[in-house]
Amino acid sequence: MSKNPENIELLVFKFNNGLISPEELETLTEWYNSHDDQNVIIATSRPESGEQVKLRMLEGLLTKVSGLPQKGIRLQPFLKWISAAAAILVLGLLIWKNQAEKQLPQNVLQHKSSIEPGGYKATLTLADGKTVPLSSLQTGIVAGEKITYADGAPVSNVNINQEGLAEGNMLALQTPRGGTYKITLPDGTEVWLNAASTIKYPSQFSPAERTVEIIGEAYFHVKTIYGENGKKVPFRVLAGQQEIEVLGTHFNVNSYPEQNNVKTTLEEGRVAIGDKKHRIALLPGQQAVTADGKTIVKKVNVTNYTAWRDGKFSFDDKTFEETMDEIARWYDLRIVYEKGIPDEEIVGDAFRNQNIHLVLRLLDAAEISYQLDVPNRKLTITSKK
C-alpha cells in the first residue's frame, strides 16, 4: 500500500478500530519508524497493559499524521532500539488480533474470511471479436496504432494491422463487477471505467467527429481537437437515453442498464445533453438526469458522483438502493431485500480499498439489520433495528 498521508490516515483508522491486517500493520510500522528526524515514542521500562501500549502507539501515529503532538503524549529522542521496536510490533499484533475478534459484528462473525474490494480488472475486445484479458498489475491502456499499457509495456496477444486500424472498426474495453480500468483513446481523451462498465470506441476517429458508447459508469477528460477548418472536432458520448456532446471538458456518466435513468454530472467545461425531445446545455456543478425520455437538470455536489475515480465511495445525496448497488458492483455482491428496500439514507464516505466489513459499518450506524454470506457473496438486508 502507498504511504501517502491519505493511506496512512486509513491505516491509523483501521488500527484504532481493530481492523488492520498484519500486512497493513507492517506498512504502518515501517512508515512510523522511517522518520529519523522526528521525535517518536519508544518502549519504557514501566509496566503497561496491552491497551496502554496500543493507546501509546496510536497517539504516536496520530502525532505524525496530524503533525501536532496529542495531549498527554510524552516525547523522547528517537533511538534505534531494535528490541523495543520488535516488542511493540509483536504486542501490537496480539492486540490487533484480540480487538479484531471482539469488534467484528455478530452478523459476520460466522465467517473468518471476508470479501475483499475490487481492483484493476478488464478485458479488451478487438475488431475481429477476439477478447484479451488485461493485466491486473496495470492501471490502464493507451489506444492508437499500437495498444500498450499506461507504462508503455505491450499488451500481450494484441496484433493490430492496418486493416484493424481502418476507420469504423470498433473495439471495446470492459470491466467486470469488482473491476476498474482506464483507457487513453486514440485522440488523447482519458476515460476511467467504474465496475461492470463498457466503453465501445473506434480504432481510429474520423476527422469530422469523435463518438464513443458507454454502458455503466465512466469519467471523461476529453481532449480538445481542432479540424482543418480551425473549428473544434465534437466529441459525443452515447449513453442509453442520453446523447452527450462535448467541447473539451471533465464529466461523469452513469448509465447502468438496470437503472431507469441516466445521469451526466459536469465538473468542468461545457456539454450539451440530448434526449428524445430536447437539447440542454449543462454548467459546471450541474447534473442532467434522463428518465422515460425526459431530462431534468439540478445542481449537485460533483464530488459525490466522481469520488469513485479517486478510490472512494461517497453516499451523500443518493438513495439507499443506489448506495447498495454501488457497493454491490464493487465487491461483486448480490443484494437481497427481505422486507423491501429500507426508507433510509446513508451519508458519509469510505475508502474503496478496504474489505467489506468496514464499509458495512455504515449499515450498523444507520441501524439496518443485515446478514453477510461470504461464500455465496450475498448480502441480505433484513429490517430496521
Asked if residue 259 and residue 153 are part of one domain, the reply reads yes
Q: What percent of the chain shows pLDDT beyond 90? A: 48
Give the pLDDT of residue 16: 60
- Is 80 exceeded by the pLDDT of residue 145? yes
Asked if residue 367 and residue 267 are part of one domain, the reply reads no
Which of these three, 252, 281, 305, is where a domain ends? 305
Weakest-pLDDT range from 55-64, 111-120, 279-288, 334-343: 55-64
In a domain, 193, yes or no: yes
User: Could you tell me the pLDDT band of residue 166, with boundaries at 50, 70 and 90?
Assistant: low
Who has greater pLDDT, 23 or 285? 285
Encode pLDDT of 171-185 as tens digits.
999 999 999 999 999
Region label for 286, one of left (φ > 0), alpha (ψ between -120 and 50) or beta (otherwise)? beta
User: What is the distance between the alpha carbons of residues 315 and 347, in angstroms, rounded to a whole number?
Assistant: 5
Beta bridge partners of 201: 171
Asked if residue 292 and residue 153 are part of one domain, the reply reads yes
In a domain, 325, yes or no: yes
User: Could you tell me the pLDDT band of residue 55, with boundaries at 50, 70 and 90?
Assistant: low
Encode pLDDT of 248-269 as tens digits.
789 999 999 999 999 999 999 9
Residue 226's contacts (CB-CB under 8 Å, 6 or more residues apart) are: 232, 233
The residue length of the chain stands at 385
Number of structural domains, the chain? 3
Encode pLDDT of 77-130 as tens digits.
333 333 333 334 444 444 444 444 444 444 544 444 678 899 999 999 998 899
Beta bridge partners of 280: 273
Mean of all residue pLDDT scores within the chain: 79
Asked if residue 123 and residue 12 are part of one domain, the reply reads no
Asked if residue 279 and residue 190 are part of one domain, the reply reads yes
CA distances from 32 to 11, 14, 42, 290, 379 (A): 11, 15, 11, 50, 37
Asked if residue 123 and residue 95 are part of one domain, the reply reads no
Give the pLDDT of residue 86: 38
- Please state the pTM of the whole predicted model: 0.70
Who has greater pLDDT, 95 or 271? 271
List the domain range (segments joined by +) for residue 90: 5-103
Give the pLDDT of residue 366: 84
Secondary structure in 3-state letters for the chain: CCCCHHHHHHHHHHHHCCCCCHHHHHHHHHHHCCCCCCCECCCCCCCCCHHHHHHHHHHHHHHHHHCCCCCCCCCECCCCCHHHHHHHHHHHHHHHHHHHHHHCCHHHCCCCCCCCCCEECCEEECCCCCEEECCCCCCEEECCCCCEECCCCECCCCCCCCCCCCCCCEEEEECCCCEEEEEECCCCCEEEECCCCEEEEECCCCCCCEEEEEEEEEEEECCCCECCCCCECCEEEEECCEEEEECCCEEEEEECCCCCCEEEEEEECCEEEECCCCEEEECCCEEEEEECCEEEEEECCCHHHHHHHHCEEECCCCCHHHHHHHHHHHHCCEEEEECECCCCCCCCEEECCCCHHHHHHHHHHCCEEEEEECCCCEEEEEEEC
User: Could you tell me the pLDDT band of residue 286, with boundaries at 50, 70 and 90?
Assistant: very high
Looking from the CA of 22 toward its CB, the CA atoms found within 13 Å total: 6
> Buried (b) or exposed (e) across 312-348, using 16+ Cβ within 10 A?
ebbbbebebebbbbbbbbbbbbeeeeeeeebeeebee
In a domain, 368, yes or no: yes
In a domain, 108, yes or no: no
Asked if residue 226 and residue 191 are part of one domain, the reply reads yes
Who has greater pLDDT, 285 or 75? 285
User: Could you tell me the pLDDT band of residue 161, with boundaries at 50, 70 and 90?
Assistant: low
- Is 90 exceeded by the pLDDT of residue 282? yes
Asked if residue 282 and residue 371 are part of one domain, the reply reads no
- Please give the average per-residue pLDDT across 296-311, as a whole number: 94
Asked if residue 171 and residue 72 are part of one domain, the reply reads no
- Is 60 exceeded by the pLDDT of residue 3? no
Q: What percent of the chain shows pLDDT beyond 70? A: 71
In a domain, 114, yes or no: no
In a domain, 113, yes or no: no
Encode pLDDT of 193-224 as tens digits.
999 999 999 999 988 899 999 999 999 999 99
